[in-house]
């Protein structure tokens, strides 16, 4: 490679004029040259590297990897230092990026292999392999505390892909895991193995998303004995590689490991088993189809329930009267019951609408609502984490194109006595709209249209953070929002 030639086209000559030339007590202040103009003629060219960067080999050899080469640098002032940052992109559009500083070694732009590996893990994947890594470079002229970007704020050098073989895996993580039922001695029943679901969804990469879950039934009275198998262990049916459990003191999980004994779930009923194969952890939590928010003297069949689609997060609109607790069954006294934990006091938001707290299955007092009396709340529960949050709903109304999306002036709905059905009559609607609570957007309801005829338009709706707007033809409507069914139903009857 040719040696870099440094040319300085700008000779900085500061000519100081004698004070005798001025009538004023002091001469005028010195004017510094414009930074962009100062480097306008600087010419920098970077060339790509053609070989695949072997990060494991570079680390073992205690060497940096070369990510680009400087082939030209002209008209660069000798009293400045050239610095180059490298951006690693998630794709060729650089939708997500991370920036790392490089080291210039002669003509080579180099990088610590561990830093490059970390950048790839951050924006692309944690899975080991060989990847075309989209990269681009930003160059700076640096002197003291001054750092000037060459070519302007949007200028990049050498935007293309590098071939990189990332670090070899210290720990192999696979994309599929199984619960293998066992007897009390740990002998596996391979035919009874149950495939677990990746919590990030079907097809998710285990290195990037190492949590897997499955709902099982833990029988009475012996509980459920099991071990965990990866796909390769399952295929080989190698019992020596099955992961047992070192149980936690509370009986709700433990650590996974091949040297541990068979896992034993002692809680009975529907149980969600969750493993994190990165952390070698397993947790057990209750897995119920719904939760019953018992309040006052309301019977189970009249309660507004909390629903789930993953047995982890439960939520719904509930009418609560002063104090309440959660049950898993339509029998009010059947355990487990979830009440306010005595380990921590609940917290209340500054506006007084939202209360957060911890749940406990070991006794405890009923949960007190932040406002006395019977009111509607949005309630959310994380069952494995035993946390809850309630937000008071004082008002529900329609907001949309018809009123310029002015949430403070929504068309209010009137609740029924039991707070389950909210209505309005002779409402003029036109185009897109949503339902909001408390004349704000902290809680909004939207969804999708499910049917329409000449007399009515029907939508399934639920609480949404963002989400698509509802839409309706221009006209006058009677409105009904019904919380007695799931999903919740909004009906517009045209007048």
* Residue 48 main-chain phi, psi, to 5 deg: -75, 165
What are the C-alpha distances in Å from 232 to residues 9, 69, 175, 236, 241?
64, 43, 10, 6, 10
Give me the pLDDT at residue 251, please: 86
| Listed residue (393, 394, 487) closest to 446, CA to CA | 487
Q: Give dist(CA 302, CA 304) in Å, integer.
A: 7
pLDDT at res. 41: 83
pLDDT tens per residue across span 146-186 = 999 999 889 999 998 999 999 999 999 999 999 999 999 99
Tell me the pairing of strands 396-400 and 411-412: antiparallel
CATH number for 177-286: choose from 3.40.30.10, 2.60.40.3620, 3.50.50.60, 3.40.50.300.
2.60.40.3620
Contact between 292 and 329 under an 8 Å Cβ cutoff? The reply is yes
Strands 347-348 and 354-360: antiparallel
- Predicted local distance difference test score (pLDDT) of residue 6: 36
Query: Residue 285 corresponds to which tokens in the numbers above?
Result: 């939590």
- The model's pLDDT over 3-54, given as tens digits with 9 standing for 90+, comes to 333 333 333 333 333 334 434 444 444 444 556 667 888 899 999 999 999 9
Q: What angle do CA 174, 268, 279 make, to 5 degrees?
A: 30
Partners of 313 in the β-ladder = 382
Q: What is the DSSP letter of 376?
A: E
- CA-to-CA distance for 26 and 261, rounded, in angstroms? 87
Output the pLDDT for position 45.
Answer: 96
Q: What angle do CA 236, 261, 182 make, to 5 degrees?
A: 55
Domains of the chain, by residue range, sit at 19-165, 177-286, 290-393, 396-494
Question: Which residues, other chains included, contact 462 with Cβ-Cβ below 8 Å and sequence gap of 6+?
Answer: 445, 446, 447, 487, 488
Q: What is the pLDDT of residue 232?
A: 98
Report the relative pairing of strands 269-276 and 306-307 from DSSP bridges: unpaired
Q: What 3-state class would DSSP assign to 353?
A: coil
CA 306 to chain centre: 23
Q: Could you tell me which residues come within 8 angstroms of residue 11 by beta carbon, excluding any fewer than 6 positions away?
A: none
Position 452 scores a pLDDT of: 81
pLDDT under 50: residue ranges of the chain = 1-32
Measure the CA–CA gap between 151 and 164, rounded to whole angstroms. Answer: 28
Place of tokens 């029924």: 416
Structure tokens at 478: 């009677």
Would you identify the CATH topology of the domain 19-165? Immunoglobulin-like (2.60.40)
pTM for the model stands at: 0.68
Kindly report the CATH number that applies to the domain delimited by 290-393. Answer: 2.60.40
């Amino acid at each position: 490679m040719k040696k870099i030639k440094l040319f300085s086209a700008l000779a900085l000559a500061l000519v100081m004029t004698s004070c005798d030339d001025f009538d004023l007590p002091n001469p005028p202040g010195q004017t510094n040259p414009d930074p962009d103009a100062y480097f306008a003629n600087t010419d920098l060219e970077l060339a790509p590297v053609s070989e695949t960067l072997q990060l494991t080999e570079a680390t073992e050899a205690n060497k940096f990897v070369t990510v680009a080469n400087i082939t030209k640098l002209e008209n660069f002032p000798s009293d400045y230092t050239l610095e180059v940052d490298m951006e690693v992109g998630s794709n060729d559009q650089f939708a997500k990026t991370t920036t790392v500083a490089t080291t210039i070694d002669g003509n080579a732009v180099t990088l610590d292999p561990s830093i490059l590996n970390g950048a790839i893990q951050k924006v692309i994947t944690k899975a080991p392999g060989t990847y075309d890594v989209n990269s681009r470079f930003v160059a700076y002229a640096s002197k003291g505390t001054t750092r000037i970007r060459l070519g302007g704020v949007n200028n990049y050098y050498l935007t293309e892909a590098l071939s990189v073989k990332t670090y070899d895996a210290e720990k192999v993580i696979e994309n599929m895991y199984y619960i293998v039922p066992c007897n009390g001695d740990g002998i596996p029943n391979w035919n009874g193995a149950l495939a677990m679901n990746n919590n990030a969804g079907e097809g998710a990469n285990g290195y990037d998303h190492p949590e897997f879950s499955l709902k099982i039934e833990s029988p009475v009275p012996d509980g459920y004995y099991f071990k965990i198998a990866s796909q390769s262990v399952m295929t080989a049916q190698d019992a020596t590689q099955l992961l047992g459990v070192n149980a936690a003191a509370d009986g709700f999980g433990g650590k996974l490991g091949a040297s541990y004994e068979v896992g034993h779930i002692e809680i009975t009923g529907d149980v969600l088993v969750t493993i994190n194969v990165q952390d070698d952890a397993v947790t057990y939590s209750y897995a119920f189809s719904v939760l019953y928010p018992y309040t006052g003297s309301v019977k189970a069949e009249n309660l507004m329930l909390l629903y789930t689609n993953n047995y982890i997060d439960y939520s719904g609109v509930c009418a609560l009267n002063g104090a309440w607790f959660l049950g898993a069954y339509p029998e009010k006294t059947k355990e487990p019951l979830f009440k306010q934990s005595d380990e921590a006091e609940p917290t209340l938001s500054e506006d007084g609408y939202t209360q957060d707290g911890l749940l406990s299955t070991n006794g405890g007092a009923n949960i007190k609502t932040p406002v006395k009396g019977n009111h509607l709340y949005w309630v959310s529960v994380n069952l494995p984490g035993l946390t809850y949050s309630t937000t008071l709903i004082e008002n529900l109304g329609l907001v949309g194109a018809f009123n310029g999306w002015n949430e403070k002036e929504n068309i209010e709905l009137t609740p029924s006595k039991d707070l389950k059905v909210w209505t309005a009559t002779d409402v003029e609607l036109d185009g897109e709209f949503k339902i909001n609570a408390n004349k704000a957007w902290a809680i909004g309801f939207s969804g999708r249209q499910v049917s329409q005829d000449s007399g009515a338009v029907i939508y399934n709706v639920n609480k949404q953070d963002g989400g698509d707007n509802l839409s309706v033809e221009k006209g006058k409507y009677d409105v009904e929002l019904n919380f007695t069914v799931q999903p919740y139903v909004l009906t517009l009857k045209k007048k």
